[in-house]
Structure 1
Amino acid sequence: MKNPQLLRSMVRIRCVEEVIANVYADEVRSRRLKMRTAVHFATGQEATAVGVCAALRTEDVVYSSHRCHAHYLAKGGDLAAMVAELYGRETGCASGRGGSVHLVDEAAGFGGSAAILGEMISVATGAAWAFAREQSPRVAVTFFGDGASEEGVFHESLNFAALHRLPVVYVCENNQYSLSSPVAARQPSGTSISGRARGYGIPAARIDGNDVTAVHSAAVTAADHCRTGNGPYLLELDTYRWREHVGPSWDSQPSGRSQAEVQSWVERCPIRRATDLLRVADPAVGEQVAVWEEEFQAETYSAIAAAKAAPYPRVEDLLVGAYGEQSKYID
């Protein structure tokens, strides 16, 4: 590994989510929950977000699902606006109306996220169709989990993208579970998500999603393939979430995942792996990581304080943005 910025980005995402998880848990225990939104953490999956987004340009557009914090931050989304959104404040990136699963930052090229399984796969495909019709060199990217690959919209979108040679990169974060149901219980033996993409004539690669360098290299190949008019590309990234499906707790029993299984993936921590690789050329990298951790923790606590001090959306603006009403989001 030669790029310390990839490590820095992963450390930032890990610190942000750990601080938020700890604060969320404290609020629940004290029965003073101010962060009134579902929270789906990507702890352990940082390499997929960072490796892919580092291969993109600002004008490329990323779409995500419910586990979206890491993608939003990796693409350059505003941290303060994200935290304010978790607290439902007017200064949030969706003006406090969407919560954790509805993040957006158009300036950074983060087109949005949504909780409905597979929803943004079709949205990204539509964006790529617009880019193709405009003959724009932009690429659309959509992150989704292994469970979403079982939805009809996955197959419909891949078929449409292949037919029209659309510049869209489908990124499946295969974290081995859909809620608490393992892949082996849901998908036939001997098949793969990347194999399904090849069935539509779409190039696909299956990568170790905890190796940020490998992810970045594969994402560069995928983005270049799409940008030069060769049609869609799919990346299947094998990874693992450490925390529960939704919420701040560490996950094992009674979710169906054994402690031994969780621990085996914790030992493959993408941040630890990247740090060990960089240590060969820079023995002091561990000290640098500690400095980053202190910096990013302070940054997150500052964002939380600012969010708590910000106003809630006004009742008078309840219908702003709704269909048929005057919207500040629509010209």
Structure 2
Amino acid sequence: MIDVLAPFHLLRPWALLALLPAFALWWLERRRADPALRWRRAIDPELLRHLLVRPEGASRLIPADLLLAAWVIATIALAGPSWRQEPSPFADAQPPAVIVLRVTPSMATADVPPTRLERAQQKIADLVGLREGAATGLVAYSGSAHLVLPPTADGSVVAAMAGALAPEVMPREGDALADAVALAGQVLAEGGRGGSILVLADTVAPDQLSALQDRAPPGVPVLLLPVVPPAQGGADRALSDAAAALDAATIGLTVDTADVQAIARRMARAAPVGTVAGEGRRWEEAGFWLVPVLALFVLGWFRRGWGLRA
């Protein structure tokens, strides 16, 4: 029995202070409604008991008693009784993610039709479509890393922003993957809701490998989708070394959506709802169950002569 009642608590216990004036007013009303009160100071209690006339079967309840009961029930409902948890409506259905996209001249290569960059943009559109409602951010990099879009649940905006990226819009050429991954980790950390990082790249510069080990965000799952022909992805030593430096899981590029489906499944397991920022679950408000009981007490006031009864 104790174990069953252990989760029970009040969300707003301070509301119970409203019971103090309720009992005070009830006590005063009971004294005022006592017809013998005025005689008790002048007549002996034993004698007064025989002098009072109380009809047989007369109810000892007065309107103040009903009012007190209704007040107590309303106060308990206001205090917010709760004994079980429910998913928060403000919690994301899935953990957030930040996509890191390489935007360099090498991504214009057409060995992955139509080009590596366009295929990467298509994969991003497919991924946000599968993760409908989940927050997704976008970081683009070449010789420098830039936050294109912070995590948002509007997948169409993410796909549109990714589709507008081209090597010509990047400030300078090069490879700043370490800066891009660090920026993505910072964005997730500021959000405080966990999440994962997806890197889409066709190669990694050798000088980035040591930097990746130093700047990889701790505790953040990283996924790598090599945007190169499938046969070349496993043989590219730079990509495999980068995956090892990031402790990243490599997902092979496919002509269908099998790759993005695998990525979406891994992202969904990155940080289960309720394990970050305390936002995943909340205590369920159960005070509304007392409203029908309160309504029954209110019906007593419609009894003929009840409101005038002393």
**TM-score normalised by length of structure 1:** 0.33
**TM-score normalised by length of structure 2:** 0.35
